[in-house]
Chain A
Amino acid sequence: MNQSQFDQLVERICSVQVTDSETPLVDLGVDSLHTIALVMAVEEEFGIEVDPDALADPALASPAGLFRYVQAWAADAAPARV
Chain B
Amino acid sequence: MWTDTRPAAELPRLFEKGADVISLAGGLPDLDVLPLGDISQQLARLVRLGGKLALQYTTPHVAKALVPAVADLMAREDGHADAGNLIPTSGSQMGLTAVALALGTPGDTILVQTPAYPGATAAFRTAGLDLHAAGEDADGLCPQQLRTTVRELRAAGRTVRLLYVNPTFQNPTGATLSVPRRAEILTACRELDLLLIEDNPYGLLGFDGTTTTLFQALDPQQVVYLGTFSKIFAPGLRSGWIAAPEHLRYDLARVAEIISLSPSALAQGALAAYYSRSGWTELIDRYRDSYRERCTLMADALDAELGADSPWTWQRPGGGFYLWLRHRDGADATRYAQAAAAHGVSFVPGGHFSIDGEHNDGLRLCFSNVPRKKITEAVTRLAAALTETPAVARELAEVSG
Give me the interface of A with B, judged by CB distance under 8 Å.
12-15, 29-34, 36-41, 43-44, 50, 52, 55
User: Do B276 and A32 touch across chains, with their CB atoms under 8 A apart?
Assistant: no
Contact check, B268 vs A40: say whether CB atoms are below 8 A apart.
no
Docked pose: A14 CA to B51 CA in angstroms: 19
Q: Is the CB of A39 within 8 A of B49?
A: yes
**Given the complex, which residues of A lie within 8 Å of B276, measured CB to CB?**
12-13, 37-38, 40-41
Q: B122 to nearest A CB, angstroms?
A: 33
* Chain A residues whose CB sits within 8 angstroms of the CB of B49 once the complex forms: 36, 39-40, 43, 50, 52, 55
B272, A37: Cβ atoms under 8 Å?
Answer: yes
* 12 A–B pairs (Cβ distance < 8 Å), ordered by A: A29-B64, A31-B65, A33-B58, A33-B66, A33-B268, A36-B273, A40-B273, A40-B276, A43-B45, A43-B49, A44-B45, A55-B49
B265: CB under 8 A from chain A?
yes
- Residues on B close to A: CB < 8 A? 42, 45-46, 48-51, 53-54, 58, 63-68, 265, 268-269, 272-273, 276-277
The residue on B at minimum CB distance from A39 is B49
Q: Give the distance in Å from the alpha carbon of A33 to the alpha carbon of B262 in the complex.
A: 15
Known: A33-B269, A50-B49, A52-B48. A40 touches B42 (CB 8 A): yes
- A36–B42 Cα distance when bound, in Å, is 11
Residues of chain B with a CB closer than 8 A to A30's CB = 64
Contact B68–A15 (Cβ < 8 Å): yes
Residues of A within 8 A of B42 (CB): 40
Pair B277/A33 contact, Cβ less than 8 Å: no
CB-CB under 8 A from A12, the residues of chain B are: 276
Give the distance in Å from the alpha carbon of A50 to the alpha carbon of B68 in the complex: 25
Which residue of chain A has the shortest Cβ distance to B63 in the bound complex?
Answer: A33
Q: Which residues of A contact B65 (CB under 8 A)?
A: 14, 31, 33-34, 36-37
Compute how far the CA of A44 lies from the CA of B45 in the bound complex, rounded to whole angstroms. 10
Give A46 to B277 CA distance when docked, in angstroms: 14
Q: How far apart are the CA atoms of A44 and B200 in the complex, in Å?
A: 34
Contact call A32/B53, Cβ cutoff below 8 A: yes
Given A38-B276, A43-B49, 5 more pairs with CB closer than 8 A: A33-B64, A36-B53, A39-B49, A41-B273, A44-B45
Residues A36 and B63 in contact in the complex (CB < 8 Å), given A13-B276, A15-B68, A43-B45: no
**Chain A min CB distance to B215 (Å):** 26
Separation of A43 and B42 alpha carbons in the complex (Å) = 10
Task: State the CA gap A55–B277 with chains docked (Å).
Answer: 20
